[in-house]
Amino acid sequence: MTEKEAILARHSVRKYTSKAIDADVAAKINEKVAEVNAESGLHFQFLNDEGGAYSNLFLKFSGLDSAPASIVCVGPDSADLEEKVGYYGEKIVLFLQTIGLNTCWVGSFSKKRSEAEVKEGEKNVISIAVGYGENEGKAHKSKSVDQLVDAKADSPEWFNEGVKAALLAPTALNQQKFVIRLKDDDTAEIVSKGGAFTSVDLGIVKYHFEVGSGRKL
C-alpha cells in the first residue's frame, strides 16, 4: 500500500480488538519512529501496552481505552511544535495504515499516567492510539472544495490532487479550519483559521497535500 492509498483507506478508529502488537511489528514501528525523530528533531515514542493514558471516562465511553498501544508526540517546546507534530505524526499514521494497523489522534489523554519520557524543555502535545480496529472506521463528512479552497477554476492537476488528499486529512472535531490557496507564482499555501488543535491540524493537512500533489509546500 502506498501513502496515497493509505490516505484513501485510513479513517479514525476508536474501538480495538484484543490482538496484541507483536515484536516484529513493534520493531517496524520503532524503526519508523526513530527515522521520523532523526528527520524532525522531535521525540516521538511508541508505547506498546500503553495502559492508563486512555483511562478517563470519556475515552472509556468512546472505546479508546481498548487501544493496546500509542505514539506519544513529544518535542522541544517551540512556536512551531504543534504544526511539526501534526506533520510528522501523520507521516507515522499513514505508515501504520500501510502495515495493517488502525489509529486515532487523541487530544484528551492522561499525560500524568502516560509512560512517555518528557525531558526538560520538551512538551507532550498529543497522542495517537494504535491497534487493530474492530472495523476500519468511517469516512468523515468533509466541507466542500468551495469552502476550503481559494484558487482559479482552471487549477493545475497537481494542485487538485493535493486538495483531494488534504480534504481527507483528520482534524480535531472534524472542524477543517484551514484554507488552501493557489498563489500567482504557481505554488500553494495552506493557512489555519485558528482554534483548538488547529496548529496540529495544519501540519496534518500539509502532509496530506504534499503526498497528494507530489510537491513540497
> What's the pLDDT score for residue 173?
87
Per-domain residue ranges for the chain?
3-131, 145-213
pLDDT digits (tens, 9 = 90+) for 154-177: 999 999 999 999 999 999 989 999
Burial class, 123, CB count within 10 angstroms (exposed 0-12 / middle 13-18 / buried 19+): middle
> What's the pLDDT score for residue 199?
96
Strands (E), 38-148: 45-48, 69-76, 102-106, 122-131
pLDDT digits (tens, 9 = 90+) for 47-70: 997 656 676 655 666 678 888 999
Q: Which listed CATH number (3.40.1640.10, 3.30.450.20, 3.40.109.10, 3.40.630.30) goes with 3-131? A: 3.40.109.10
CA distance 84 to 132: 26
